[in-house]
Amino acid sequence: MSIKTLPSRPHNLFPLWLSLALALLWLIIWDLDVAFQDLVYGIADMGEYLSRYGAPNFSNMSSYLHLMLQTLVTAFWGTTLAFIMAATIAPYAARQLTPNPVIYRIARELLNFMRAMPDLLLALIFVSSMGLGPLPGVLALSVHTAGFLGKFFAENMERVPAGKYEALSAVGAGFTQKIVFAAWPSMLRESVGNVLYIFDRNVRMAAVLGLVGAGGIGLELHDALRLFKYNQASALIIIILITIVAIDNLSSWIRKVLN
Amino acid sequence: MTLSWYWPTPNGKPPLIAVLSVIVPLAVLLLTASTVDMSYNKIFYAIPRMLDFTKNLWVMPDWHYVPQLAKKMLETVEMTLLATALAILLSMPLGVLAAKNASPHPIIFRITRDLLSFIRALPELVWALVFVSALGLGPLPGIMALSLVTVGFMGKFIAESIEVVDAKAIEGLESTGCTKFQSILYAMLPQAVPDFIGSLLYILDHNLRAASILGLVGAGGIGYDMVMSMRLFNYERIGMIALSIYALVTLLDRLSDVFRQKALGGILNVH
């Protein structure tokens, strides 16, 4: 074989991609009219501004802790309801289990739609129809994250080896029995990981749902910043931070134990 | 129905752990129901109002709003792209420092890891609140909040994908006497690229969703219009905004699916 038959060396397209990306970014900065130089001039002011957060004021500690607890409970309820909805829809959105292709499409699109609606928009809608309080927050979180969990579960169900479903069909198992005895035992570990991920996410989200009146610690933080009570704001931020880090560590510990 | 099933256990009954994993969460839910105002009354009272709201959405769209809607949606996309690009720039060095095999010193590794998890801990909206109160309204505080949180996530993802690269390539380069920096540049980063593209697509998706609600606190994007039309019961606009967010998120979802397949199939030549 002569050397001519070898394929030519692939072109290095990286400089092209990079320059296209930079041109796009330049256009964006020009269009948005953001002035990054203000940031540079503002560094001295920024130091002064941050120093206002220096002395956290924990005098309302018990009410803050109560709000944080409410936030955690909101996240827990949201995640559990999302789990129930997702576990119900997911089998219809998994190719091997779905009874027919039309239902498969409908289930997929339903999950897609739930995922695409931002949870704060849903929270706004639920707040305006059922009044202030954590309940609309729970519903908003559960509808939005059921879309995510349903997609994860459906993908997990599709990854289960087809032989397991076939074996159960062969001994006469029905739809529900295939889900309980073939799908769930094989995908339990990934699914627990997915649920923990969604719970982490929901705790973060529940901490800001208060902005639209859906309960939790977010409203208190918003009010503190609007009234320039930086000391209370920094106390709230510290509480949120500690809680989220603790939940994160707890869930990564659970994940490690399961593996 | 469930009771008539023969479970794959010695006695044919459901295993204890399965029963407990149903009962324990249910018990916690019941105990905490009052904390979240969960009650039959509230839910049944809300159903007619929900239906009413849905009925109100069936109105002719407000066509005069289209130019402003398009402008705000474009702003949302631009904020997403700019924040993601800034975050890539900042998280590359941090990601390398936070990878166990690329970090110059264990102490630097520990410090960067903790710094990244600290940045990541607070949600975008909290940072956006702080930046809006420092810089005033507009897309700039939104971009800063988004890119800050993204640095936290992206740095972690980059570090994790560098940590799992094949050690043979690194050994090969080291045997020719290359420096640590050269081995990072030529052995570690190229191997981490496919992983990196996967996490980049995930982050873009996440940031688009986040950017669409940042306006809630005045940090630019479609979120401000969303809240305002909700407060003013401007149903023509709510429907349009919700639909355009849905369309945009779905479009990005489909695009990133296509792109992911291409990148994993090796068609995309990036290095």
Two tokens, residue B123: 């949600």
Query: What pLDDT is stored for residue B16 in this prediction?
Result: 84
- Compute the Cα dihedral for B115, B121, B123, B128 and give only its sign: negative
Query: What pLDDT is stored for residue B104 in this prediction?
Result: 84
Query: What pLDDT is stored for residue B263 in this prediction?
Result: 67
Q: Please state, rounded to an integer, the average pLDDT across all residues of chain A.
A: 87
Residue in B49, B75, B269 closest to A32 by CB: B75
Rounded distance between C-alpha atoms, residue B67 and residue B72, angstroms:
9
For residue A194, give Cα distances in angstroms to A83, A146, A255: 10, 11, 10
Taking CB atoms and an 8 Å cutoff, what residues of chain B touch A35? 140
For CATH 1.10.3720.10, list the domain ranges present in chain B. Answer: 63-264
Rounded distance between C-alpha atoms, residue A74 and residue A119, angstroms:
13
CATH topology of domain A61-258: MetI-like fold (1.10.3720)
214-253 of A, contacting B, C-beta below 8 A:
215, 218, 221-222, 225, 228, 233, 237, 240-241, 244-245, 248
Q: What is the pLDDT of residues A135-167, one digit of tens each?
A: 899 999 999 999 999 999 999 998 888 888 889
Query: What pLDDT is stored for residue B271 in this prediction?
Result: 37
Q: What is the pLDDT of residues A120-129, one digit of tens each?
A: 888 988 888 8
Taking Cα atoms as reference points, which of A226, A3, A118 lies closest to residue B245? A118
Query: What pLDDT is stored for residue B268 in this prediction?
Result: 44
DSSP state of B233: T
Query: What pLDDT is stored for residue B114 in this prediction?
Result: 87
Q: Is the pLDDT of residue A27 over 80?
A: yes
Query: What pLDDT is stored for residue A124 in this prediction?
Result: 87
User: Is residue B213 packed enough to be buried (19+ CB in 10 Å), middle (13-18) or exposed (0-12)?
Assistant: buried
Q: What is the pLDDT of residues A72-89, one digit of tens each?
A: 999 999 999 999 999 999
The answer to whether the CB atoms of B143 and A34 lie below 8 A apart is yes
A194 to chain B, any CB pair closer than 8 A? The answer is no
Q: What is the pLDDT of residues A222-245, one digit of tens each?
A: 888 888 888 888 899 899 989 988
Model-level pTM greater than 0.80? yes
The answer to whether the CB atoms of A28 and B81 lie below 8 A apart is yes
Residue in B81, B121, B212 closest to A244 by CB: B121
Q: What angle do CA A194, A197, A198 make, to 5 degrees?
A: 90
Mean pLDDT of A60-79: 91
Q: What is the pLDDT of residues A213-225, one digit of tens each?
A: 888 888 888 888 8
Q: What is the pLDDT of residues A100-115, one digit of tens each?
A: 899 999 999 999 999 8
Domain-by-domain residue ranges, chain A? Answer: 61-258
Among A130, A203, A241, which would you mutate to test the B interface (most chain B Cβ atoms within 10 Å of its Cβ)? A130
Instruction: Name the more confident of A191 and A259.
Output: A191
Q: What angle do CA B257, B263, B265 make, to 5 degrees?
A: 100
Q: Note the CATH number of domain B63-264.
A: 1.10.3720.10
Q: Is the pLDDT of residue A191 over 50?
A: yes
Mean pLDDT of A2-30: 81
Profile chain B (271 residues) by mean pLDDT over runs of 10 residues.
Answer: 71 83 89 82 81 81 87 92 93 90 87 88 86 84 92 91 86 87 86 84 91 88 87 85 90 85 56 37
Q: Is the pLDDT of residue A59 over 90?
A: no
